[in-house]
Amino acid sequence: MPRILDGVAIAAAIKQEVAEEVQALAARGIRPGLAVVLVGNVAASQIYVRDKAQACAELGIYSEVITPPESITTEQMLALLAGLNARDEIDGILVQLPLPAHVDAKTLLDAVSPAKDVDGFHPVNSGRLFAGRPSLAPCTPAGIIEILKRSQIPISGQHAVVVGRSDIVGKPAAMLLLHQNATVTICHSKTRDLGAMTRQADILVAAIGRPGFITPEMVKPGATIIDVGMNRITSRDEFERLFAGDARREATFARRGSTLVGDVHPKAFEISGAYTPVPGGVGKLTIAMLMSNTVRAAKMRRGL
């Protein structure tokens, strides 16, 4: 039987460690602070921001949610970020994506001080990550490494195949795995004979954003599968392709009219050695690593 890598338990352990770090900083008169900028009324974004603020409250991190109107201009957002960059009690700044179409997201992300870039998206932090220098790494890729390490999955000397080349997950995940001495192959939608590549993976990271894209014949028996995908499906045909015969999922789908699935077909997990479930896997690590990055930023800014 394949082993389920429990993202919930690992995230809880990381949060406990962060809480202890926050207490140690408090003894020195320091309280890490996180500012989240949420523009507009995207329901999913509001849920994410609420969860982030709740995690801060639980761990003793100061948090501030700033909600400018959807009509805000790029110039006004730049002024807002400049103010946050200048505030000493704010250690981390997060601009919640997506932003309204009329706002230049790349310009705004680049305007966040690299020292406060707890999302790890700034080109300076990307460069530091590439060079293997201390930096703030993107939360989801950092969470992938934590899952592997804390689950005692060997990384050094293993062949890791990352399917997906985004700046947010695919590329930084590949770089972090390389720093852990894995041999890394990056694949994407234009890779020829993708299955031939993925079947070589001791560690397979699926981050391509397509429901059930990685099928059983694409997986090496005994491989560790890290499923980064979070796709909500509403089509009955798609449900039958992925979950035919799964009574528990059927009940959820019937009740809600949708269900979550990762980028890996559920049948592919059956031939793996270990895997992260969806939900309950990588997604749970993202907020935990954001909290960790906020504390890390607070310490780095003060030379600790």
Catalytic residues, which ones?
52, 96, 119
The four Cα atoms 110, 113, 115, 116 give a dihedral, to 10 degrees, of -90
The four Cα atoms 169, 174, 175, 181 give a dihedral, to 10 degrees, of 150
Nearest to 72 by CA among 49, 50, 104: 104
Contact 253, 259 (CB under 8 A): yes
C-beta atoms surrounding 71 within 10 Å = 11
Q: Kindly list the distances between the CA atom of residue 48 and the CA atoms of 25, 73, 103, 150, in Å, as whole numbers in the listed order.
A: 26, 23, 20, 25
Tokens (6 digits) for 288: 């935990």
DSSP designation for 246:
-
70 residue type, one letter: E
The distance of Cα 114 from the centroid of its chain, to the nearest Å, equals 18
Helix (H) or strand (E) holding 70: none
- The vertex-127 CA angle with 124 and 131, nearest 5°, equals 140
